[in-house]
Structure 1
């Protein structure tokens, strides 16, 4: 028997084994589904996703869109999904910004900056995230009431009802369009060979231009371009109120996530060859120029892969909101299971939603990592 026949026989054997494993796995899944149906029928519970059309009959603390106690399970779960994506995206951005800043301080030559960054990282990285969330929530609910709220310039107020800040007087749709335009502009400018400072200035100028246009076209006559929070009786009206639950989640996840990202950044900066840094110093470049033109561009190729893992972790970390009553998808699913009894279906929805979001983040990281690779010419 020659080598080709032996190889063909080995390939057939592998195919048979793989097919048998697939069939065996499928039989296990089918058997589990049938068993679950029998058990649910014995308990008088209907299986399937028909419950999504029923009204929930309960409310929750936070929503990005209009909500009502009579909303269906489908709409309520959609609201929970939007809340999770919103909180995860916001904390990913904040954690990344603070993480790069603190990681740079950790790599600095200044002993004070380096010590402060080290203390920050060791403190927030080693305390469990859920414990941090509960701590900040306890602090929040013990703040003064609205009438004794702490304020900054009579424009920003902090009380046990949350954080009240000024708000651009435009609709959510217009605000989303403006955000998408800024993201597209940032992506386009990043592809051009211009400095980071010029990109920032261009985005700031574009932001002011869009604000002027949006407020001029959409703000009703007699109203200002900015809605300011003001105390009316026992509560604040106008502006934007960030609920205590949302504010606590932002603070806790950002502090925790940025500590891990800072270590990723420090590790990436430490991987830059010292010879390149010494070459920059020999050319007379300042430390800031060396960081911006040598260290960070080289370090990004090392930073990006583990940074993606941290982004996925931060998105999954939003599930701790159930401990303080923040209405993310996990909280909504947990409450829905208690109210409807559709455990398997709701857990499947929860798993599918996180799989979709985290897979999207992973794909973006893969694209970013590929775009930063050195191209061979």
Structure 2
């Protein structure tokens, strides 16, 4: 009718719906990001909630028990802030005040700590660092400006600090509904595939978020303790920065190491070599022993894809894109693996033994 092919019309209509859906997602991207952060936060709280349920033995209502878990978490955070918050704030203020002096090229040669073997090269090394600072300052300014804009934007959205725990609280209370939905979905068409995908995604995010939290905590404790014992300037502040950057795979630890060594070097710290040895040894332990033990195989993403995901995520969504790029790539990898497994099950003919059982 009217010379319109029905198949072509369906294709055009489907494409229009997909485009409209993507545009709708773009319009509510901030809300979706908040929801996703709430989901990730839920994975941190849920193990404590399950442990509390086992201890309570069903004698305490779920809502009350979850409130107690949240109070314990908030209390621990408040205790940590009370013990170390003032020291970190003082070190951050002192570093901000001393930064122009530390980066002053005129006094760099005199302040540069070098072993006796490198003393003849002091002038050349100081000239190299001076040129590096002067040449990189112009390129660093746009980056610093972008960080400033990001902090201003974050300050205008501090309401999310309250919204995210509330959403996470409601999600944990309704976790049993998700389990019931998976059971009902399995009996529908392609239900087994989507059930396995959702189970795999749940296990992946659970492993990834909890592993990141433990790795960041381990970095904070190790760097804070060792750098403080070594009397490195601004030790707790640098340890906190390293713990935060730990959530960015590959590039985060490199940036943290460069920041720690750079601050120690420009501050005139005399044992920079020991700092480098400590960071190198800790990265070997973290990357090849602790991280593989905490991370499941489903989070295993090749390093080249991690770097690509970080760069692409920063271009698409800034800091949030950097943080979410690796779990997104891991989820995509898990989806492809599930597709292959289910396709193999469909295409593999039953054996004679299976036929006798049926």
TM over 0.5: no
TM range (shorter): under 0.3
Counting helix residues as a fraction of each chain, which structure ranks higher?
2
